[in-house]
Structure 1
């Protein structure tokens, strides 16, 4: 029981704070519970399809193929593929992290994983199409032309800054999730 409470202590603290909020300010507390409930519902609708697709990726795509196209020696094709996969992905950013964990298990280069996460968060195709219609093609294309090199530069800096030992621990943790 102690272990369970320790594991979920942040959740318990936040839940108790929300109950106190309801007691102190009922409309604000009710709104907080409503927003939290909607967020949980959204997660429950998004996460299962992502995990189904991850299971299929894990089974259908051999490790050797992932290493060939996105591993250490992949070069420019790994970068381009990371951007394309991240841009074509659907769902909120928290859906990118389980995909990144599967990529780690498959031997994808750390920099390509960072590029994938950056592309998922910044260069989604539906967002680009919305920007073209709402803000104009000049803005949308300019933003994309700034974001893509920015993502690559940030990924390069992070991959050089993070120590090999830390990257190794990340990969080991991803493999341990089986």
Structure 2
């Protein structure tokens, strides 16, 4: 029991704080509760399809194929594929991390995983189309042309700064 309480102590502390605060400001407490339920429902709608697709990726795509196209010796091809997959993805950013874990399991190069995560969070195609319609094509294209080299640069800088032993530990956790 103590182990469970320790594991969930942050969650319990926040929950108790919100409940206590709700006694002083009922309207805010209800709003927090409604927002929490909304987010939970949204996660339950997004996560299962992602895990189904991940299961299919894990079974259908051989490790050798992933290493060939996105592994250590993939070069520009791996970068472009990571950018495309990240940009074409749908769903919130928390959906990208299970995909990244499967990529690690399949032998994808660490910098390509970082590029994929950066693309998922920054260069999504629906976001580009929304920006083009709302803020103008010039703005959307300019932002994209700045973001893509920025994502690649950040990925390679992080790859150089993180010790190889740390990267290896991350990969081992996905096994």
TM-score, normalization by structure 2: 0.98
Residue 45 of structure 1 corresponds to which residue in structure 2?
45
Distance 2:19 2:136 in 1: 45
Query: How big is each residue's C-alpha offset from its partner over 1:83-119, in whole Å with a ceiling of 9 and x where there is no partner?
Result: 0000000000000000000000000000000000000
Distance 1:59 1:14 in 2: 39
Task: Give the drift of 1:36.
Answer: 1.1
Distance 2:71 2:2 in 1: 42
Distance 2:38 2:20 in 1: 20
Bigger Cα displacement from structure 2, 75-84 vs 34-43: 34-43
Residue 58 of structure 1 corresponds to which residue in structure 2?
58
Residue 18 of structure 1 corresponds to which residue in structure 2?
18
Task: Give the drift of 1:64.
Answer: 0.4
Give aligned pairs, total: 175
Distance 1:21 1:88 in 2: 42
Task: Give the drift of 1:10.
Answer: 1.3
Residue 133 of structure 1 corresponds to which residue in structure 2?
133
Match status 1:32 vs 2:50: no
Distance 1:87 1:30 in 2: 36
Query: How big is each residue's C-alpha offset from its partner over 1:123-162, in whole Å with a ceiling of 9 and x where there is no partner?
Result: 0000001111111110010000000000000001000000
TM-score, normalization by structure 1: 0.97
Q: Which runs of 5+ in 2 are unaligned?
A: none
Task: Give the drift of 1:174.
Answer: 1.1
Distance 2:31 2:13 in 1: 18
Residue 87 of structure 1 corresponds to which residue in structure 2?
87
Distance 1:37 1:21 in 2: 18
Distance 1:21 1:117 in 2: 37
Residue 148 of structure 2 corresponds to which residue in structure 1?
148
Moved over 4 A (4+): none
Structure 1 vs Structure 2 CA RMSD: 0.6
Query: How big is each residue's C-alpha offset from its partner over 1:5-51, in whole Å with a ceiling of 9 and x where there is no partner?
Result: 11111111111111011112111111111111111111111000000
